[in-house]
Amino acid sequence: MIRDIKYTEETTYTGRNGQGKQVGLGFTHNGSCLLLEPINSKGHLANCQMNIPYNDLISVIEMLQLAYITHGK
């Protein structure tokens, strides 16, 4: 894992085994993609992942910034 983020509040994720409690997000890489994986309430990576191609990261970051500006603090 490159790094992980612990959330300030518990959320949920939906993976192949159904829904689970999520306390953070883990970041790893796979060649040309950044992998995002939920961290469950036991502190382990859950059976769920999103692959974001590095070439598309700027677009994803822009959307996250817009969401924060619109709905964040």
If we measure between CA atoms, which residue out of 44, 56, 59 comes closest to residue 13? 44
Predicted local distance difference test score (pLDDT) of residue 12:
96
Helix or strand holding residue 29 (H, E): strand 18-30
Residues of the chain with confidence (pLDDT) below 70: 1, 73
Predicted local distance difference test score (pLDDT) of residue 2:
84
In the chain, where are the structural domains located? 3-71
Name the pTM for this structure: 0.84
Predicted local distance difference test score (pLDDT) of residue 50:
94
